[in-house]
Amino acid sequence: MFFISFRCLGKKIYAIGLYGDEDERQGYYVYLPDNFSANSKIVVLVHGGSWISGPDPEQTYGWGSAYSTNPTQDNIVKNLLAQGYVVVVPLYRLVQYGDNNTDILSNTVTIQDQVDDIDAAIQDVHNIFPNCLGINANNIQVIGESAGANLALLFAYTQANTSYIKSVVSVAGPTNMNQFANWLMSPPFAYSCGTDFIVDNPNTTIFTHFPYYNVYDPIVPLITTAFVNPVTCNVANIKLGLFLTISPTSDNTAKRILNSYRLTESCVKQVITNPLSNTAFNNISPCAVLNASRIVPTFIIHGTDDWIVPYSKATNTMDTKLNSTGGLIGTYSSTGSGIPASSTYATTNNKHLIKLYAGSNHNVSDHSQTQPDIIT
């Protein structure tokens, strides 16, 4: 296992390959197994981060999520390499979060721009790998987690070339953005931790929907920094190694409590009063854009106790749409009969599968079957 380190036809394919020149994040990392060949299959991992954060290209190499930390056996990059896959991790431009109408409307990056970036990165891999690495790149699987899962599905259903995009895996991704945004619009708790954290509008009483309230620091726009418990007002750090740790004291007046509904508005660059009927949210809902003209076999993985992207609050109609567009093998639970064997998947006429992990939260990486075991 090693990084390739050379130039080919002006393209850099080592720690990072470049697919665009508009932003430093328009690049991708390449991981090669020991004995890759012309017919090695490629897995593209699309990172999450609420569309507004992600790995720092100057410091982080590759898959920026809990999947690449401890325990070692759940390191998805390592496991994929051990199975002989070539792994590609694209970065993409980040949405700029706004918690007021002016900032939302002036945002320069939307979810559609991010989907375009994923598309451009994968096209670059398909075009460059044959000459640069001797890999034909005609068998590519795409895996995304959280916001990255939303982007992976949107790419697969709207822009993927199905001659070489063979499957897409969604780990804890929102698939019905109208429903998800509508849920985020009415949070159960108000932030009540005084002035330990600076907010843009101190008179605002409704900030975000999550039990742990997200602190956003626009001075370091690549990062969502920490979660704050609204009852104890303590900082709870998550995903160590990717997210920066901050102090609850107001040492940076730009810090703000993230309003999750305003985040969804930032993602589409619109101020929206009725999310359930909004066209922009519909256009970034995988359940809405899935159609028979571009069927990509889909594996949905989700925890039943996910409080960041609750399955019942962010995925409505996805199962019925999969069933009517390509066919659903079934919806399985980790406490039930389990996932069909790969041979079953390869021979069935149905294309899609949903696997729910009972009791799992947003991070389902503790389950070995988050590996793409339906890829053929």
Beta strands in the chain (DSSP E): 7-8, 11-12, 17-18, 27-31, 42-46, 86-90, 140-145, 165-171, 213-216, 224-228, 235-236, 256-257, 298-303, 328-333, 352-357
Residue type, 231: V
Question: Band of the pLDDT at 335, cuts 50, 70, 90?
Answer: low
Which DSSP helix (H) or strand (E) runs through 358? none
Which pair of structure tokens corresponds to residue 177? 């953005």
Q: What is the distance in angstroms between the CA of the first residue and the CA of the last residue of the chain?
A: 22
Of 27-36, 234-243, 328-337, highest mean pLDDT:
27-36
Are 140 and 125 in contact by the 8 Å Cβ rule? The answer is: yes
Distance, CA of 351 to CA of 300 (rounded, Å): 12
User: With the CA atoms of 191, 192, 194 and 196 taken in that order, what torsion angle do they form, in degrees rounded to the nearest 10?
Assistant: -50
Please name the CATH architecture into which domain 7-97+108-176+279-370 falls: 3-Layer(aba) Sandwich (3.40)
Residue type, 330: G
338: left (phi over 0), alpha (psi -120 to 50) or beta: left
72-122 pLDDT, tens digit per residue, is 555 677 778 888 899 898 989 988 888 789 989 998 999 999 999 999 999
Which pair of structure tokens corresponds to residue 96? 């700029």
User: With the CA atoms of 97, 98, 99 and 105 taken in that order, what torsion angle do they form, in degrees rounded to the nearest 10?
Assistant: -140
Can you tell me whether residue 221 is helix, strand or coil? Answer: coil
Distance, CA of 235 to CA of 244 (rounded, Å): 12
> 172 pLDDT exceeds 80?
yes
179-221 pLDDT, tens digit per residue, is 999 999 987 666 666 555 544 443 444 444 554 455 555 555 4
Are 157 and 289 in contact by the 8 Å Cβ rule? The answer is: yes
What is the structure's pLDDT at 187? 74
Are 372 and 349 in contact by the 8 Å Cβ rule? The answer is: no
Q: Other C-beta atoms within 10 Å of 136: how many?
A: 15
Question: Band of the pLDDT at 254, cuts 50, 70, 90?
Answer: low
Mean pLDDT of the chain: 76
Distance, CA of 263 to CA of 97 (rounded, Å): 6
* Strand order through the sheet with 256-257: 235-236, 224-228, 213-216, 256-257
How is the chain split into domains, by residue range?
7-97+108-176+279-370
